[in-house]
Structure 1
Amino acid sequence: MDRVIVRFIAIIFVSLLLAGCWDKRELNELAIATAISIDKKDDEYHVAAQVVIPTELSTKGGTGSSPVTLYEANGKSVNEAIRKLTLVAPRMIYLGHLRIVVISEELAKEGIDGTVDFLSRGWELRSDFYLIVSKETDAREILNIQTTLEKVPANDLFNILHTSEANYSSTIAVNFFEMKTNLEREGKQGVLTGVQILGDSSKGSSKQNVESIVPEAFIKFEELAVFKEDKLVGWLNDNESRGYNGITNQVKSTVGIVSCPEGGNGNVSIHIKKYKSEMKSKKTNSNNPEIDLKVNIVANLGEVSCDIDLTKQETVKMLEKEFEKAVKTDLQETIKVVQEKYHTDIFGFGATINKENPEKWKKIKGNWDEIFSEMPVNIDVDAQISHFGSVLNPVGRSTSE
């Protein structure tokens, strides 16, 4: 009998615990933000939250107004600015569905440690939203542009970042957890993708921006922001950004261009469909570290604009060798720029040494920036062209020649 009573009391106790959440809030009490921007002017932070208007996203159709609105506030800290959004927003801003956080170039140069600290402590925040840096414009202006294919601009930013990363590899989708890890990790610094406005930004927030075939203003992701600790120290251009992704094994698919062999006029476009790079710490007799970088590529021919005979195996081998040289040159130039101009190990060479030879890392980590800037990187590229498309020789060239 006593056992029955104990079980009954336990069931009642558990039921009370599961009956509800002490901190629950109803959906109609929240303003759901899909993106926020963070700027800093003088000693104040400026935060803008892009909030969705549910009635305008309804399948029954809305009133034709903008599907999002922008709430803005200033504060001595990011946290204070977020709280002060309630002075202009009729509901509490909910950050649990964030997709994008835009950080201004000015703030990134000053340092993002305070911003990262705030984002780390928010219990509502997940860690899978993406961080990007606004280039040559305030971060809030990025969220003020109406977009065409996606009704919610934050979704447009999110999808462009994914699409460009997957198909061209000059951008990289870095979520908050990854950036925070890079800020705390030994031997690996961070990068973030840059975003800027093309066209007339003053007209980007109007409904007319999405009613014409060519918008007055639109968003473009371009270049990678290079960080040293928590500060932005410079930018990688398009080729260098693709080189970074190649070195760090983050190329999903992209296109490479090589000149026609044997001095011919025109180019050959090569579509990379498989890419794998692997870095290892080279064992040397001296105390000076080296990195071996091995790259394996499987590619298709994308376009041929020169007179070559692809029925000959030696021609294909010649193209593969030219492509290997081109890839190696791009990787070498990227490493050279970062070593000589920025002196910050965004590639993770130090982390590789630390993983494979912890004792050596302990001896050199105190001077790693200087050692990294002079360290040799040995690159070996192996490329295979496996498919030629539905035609073999270039269009206009007879296969019987």
Structure 2
Amino acid sequence: MSKFKAICLLMILTLLLSGCWSKRELNELAIVAALGIDKVDNEFEITVQVVDPGEISSKQPSSGRSPVITYHSTGATVFEAIRKMTTVTARKLYFSHLQIVVLGDELAKEGIHETLDLISRDHEFRNDFDVIVAHDATADEVLNVLTPIEKVPANKLLNSLKTSEKTWGTTESIKIDELINTINNKTTSVVISAIEIQGDKNAGMDQTNVKKSKSSVLLKYTGLAVFKKGKLVGLLTEDESRSLGFLRDKIDSTIEIIACPKGDTLATEITHSKTKIKGKFEHGAPKIEVLIDVNQNVGEVLCKIDLTKEKSIHFINKKTAELIKKRIEETIRSVQQNYRVDIFGFGEELHRTNPKEWKKIEKDWLTIFQELPVKVEVHVSTQGVGTMENSLVSKTKGE
């Protein structure tokens, strides 16, 4: 009898199971690779970059069509604009494969808080996509540029962002969840990688831009955009962006160029960098100490210098340390005077060091930050000089 009851129960349960009721076939979806958000008057203008699977497939010959299609829509909110886009798209937009979100320049200046609410709240958006800002351009213009090598421009945007972050140090990859957390932090301000269009913006959407050996229009990352209370207030230069990378302990590798004792230059490759920031209070006054340890290799020698001598290596270490230290100090002063926001995380460090003293200055932190004393110390060690001891330049000059 018990077996009979169990069988009946299982049969009833199978009737209640819904199966794949929510399944969606691939040929019913429009896969969105990139999303652009602009502000036009009082409305949001949305641009989506949708992949054409037939044009990027390695198994099918190209028909000559563009590998991506961009759709546009406007609305009072981002949510409304996306829904209204269904009136022009042939398929339902699918955001689970979204790779990157581009925020337009004007939108960034007005404020990004409202914009980020939907894409951080909606369940169809995953939290593993990056966010960047268009510099002197709209997000629509950026997403309309066709790129060489990478058929899908969203892939180019993402790959360039990550590659330059690891090998040059002027960009930072920031995921949506990290961005939201930083925005909600009342102490540390947000920085987002900025991209610009080099060349004629209108020519970028033409197929000829990817059919020539030299593209007339390129997308280039141009430093880090600084935000204050969710609004864009300025753009760091490449040198300032690299300095910020050192201070935030995000430099994996980069290049430094120093002057040689007898003229000309020498380039080194930074192979490792470790930054320690220490906060302290002296008689209630906050101070910051920064210690950076750097390892490097000699990468290119365009001057006369004997790399077999210890004093030459000592000279290279000293000059590299001085260069990095000077650039970082200049960057700190520039941010303190021009932007007046803590993008370095100094306030967080002071809070961790002494919560009691921090509480006394927390309300006036941005004012105190502008005059905050910061001591920077850089130690450099040269690990290798390459496969040649000295430069070919010296030999060709007969020296």
Query: Where on the TM-score scale, by shorter chain, does this alignment land: which range?
Result: over 0.9
Contact 2:196 2:219 in 1 (8 A): yes
SS of residue in 2 equivalent to 1:374: coil
The residue aligned with 1:277 is 275
Q: Which amino acid aligns with 1:257?
A: I
Deviations 1:282-325 (A, max 9, x none): 2x331111111110000000111121111110111111011111
Structure 2 residue identity aligned to 1:376: P
How far apart are the structure 1 equivalents of 2:278 and 2:179?
23
Local SS of the residue matching 1:151: coil
The aligned counterpart of 1:320 is 317
Match of 2:295 among 266, 274, 298: 298
What is the rounded CA distance, in whole Å, between the counterparts of 2:152 and 2:294 in structure 1? 37
Q: Take 2:100 and 2:269, find their aligned partners in 1: how far apart are those partners? A: 30
> In structure 1, what is the Cα distance between the partners aligned to 2:343 and 2:9?
55
Structure 1 counterpart of 2:76: 76
Shift of 1:29: 2.0
Residue correspondence of structure 1 range 161-200 to structure 2 within 5 A? 161-200=161-200
CA distance in 2 between partners of 1:188 and 1:169 (Å):
20
Aligned equivalent of 2:216: 216
Alignment of 1:178-257 (within 5 A): 178-257=178-257
Alignment of 1:40-55 (within 5 A): 40-55=39-54
TM-score under structure 1 length normalisation: 0.94
- For the Cα contact (< 8 Å) 1:304–1:394, is it kept in 2? yes
> 1:24: which partner in 2?
23
Higher mean alpha-carbon deviation, 251-260 vs 8-17, is at: 8-17
Cα deviation 1:204-250 (Å, max 9, x = unaligned): 11111111111121111111100112111111001001011110001
Which residue identity is paired with 1:78? V
Deviations 1:305-348 (A, max 9, x none): 12111111011111101111100001111111111110111111
How much has 1:5 moved relative to structure 2?
6.1
Q: Distance in 2 between matches of 1:248 and 1:17?
A: 54
Deviations 1:62-111 (A, max 9, x none): 31211110000011111111111111111111111111110011111110
Equivalent residue runs for 1:324-363 within 5 Å: 324-363=321-360
Deviation at 1:394, TM superposition (A): 1.8
Q: Counterpart of 1:134?
A: 134
Mapped partners of 1:13, 1:307: distance in 2 = 87
Q: Which moved more, 1:20-29 or 1:266-275?
A: 20-29
Shift of 1:55: 1.4
Q: Which runs of 5+ in 1 are unaligned?
A: none
CA distance in 2, matches of 1:156, 1:122: 26
Pick one of 260, 263, 273 that aligns with 1:265. 263
What do you get for the CA RMSD once the two structures are aligned?
1.8
CA contact (8 A) 1:187 1:354 kept: no
State how far apart, in whole Å, the 1-side matches of 2:10 and 2:357 are.
58
Post-superposition offset of 1:258: 1.1
CA distance in 1, matches of 2:253, 2:9: 57
Say yes or no: does 1:90 pair with 2:90.
yes
Query: What secondary structure is seen at the aligned counterpart in 1 of 2:370?
Result: helix
SS of aligned partner of 1:65: coil
Counterpart of 1:160 in structure 2 is 160
Amino acid at match of 1:274: H
Change (3 A) 1:47 1:397: same
CA contact (8 A) 1:186 1:351 kept: no
Partners of 2:15 and 2:97 in 1: how far apart? 29
Residue type matched to 1:71 in 2?
Y
Count of aligned positions: 395
Aligned-pair identity (%): 40
| Alpha-carbon offset, residue 9 of structure 1 | 6.5
Task: Give the letter aligned to residue 114 of structure 2.
Answer: G
CA contact (8 A) 2:303 2:393 kept: no
- Distance (whole Å) between structure 2 residues aligned to residue 180 and residue 6 of structure 1: 53
Asked if 1:36 corresponds to 2:52, the answer is no
| Alpha-carbon shift at residue 26 of structure 1 (Å) | 2.5
Q: Deviations over 1:146-177 (max 9, x none)?
A: 11111111001111111111110011111111
The normalised TM-score by structure 2 is 0.95
CA distance in 2, matches of 1:196, 1:17: 54
Name the SS of the counterpart of 2:298 in structure 1: strand
Deviates more, 1:16-25 or 1:66-75: 16-25
Structure 2 unmatched ranges of 5 or more? none
Question: 1:393/1:23 Cα in 2 relative to 1: closer, same or farther (>3 Å)?
Answer: same
Aligned-partner SS, 2:336: helix
> Separation in 1 of the partners of 2:103 and 2:385?
43
State whether residues 203 and 209 of structure 1, in contact with CA within 8 Å, keep that contact through their aligned partners in structure 2: yes
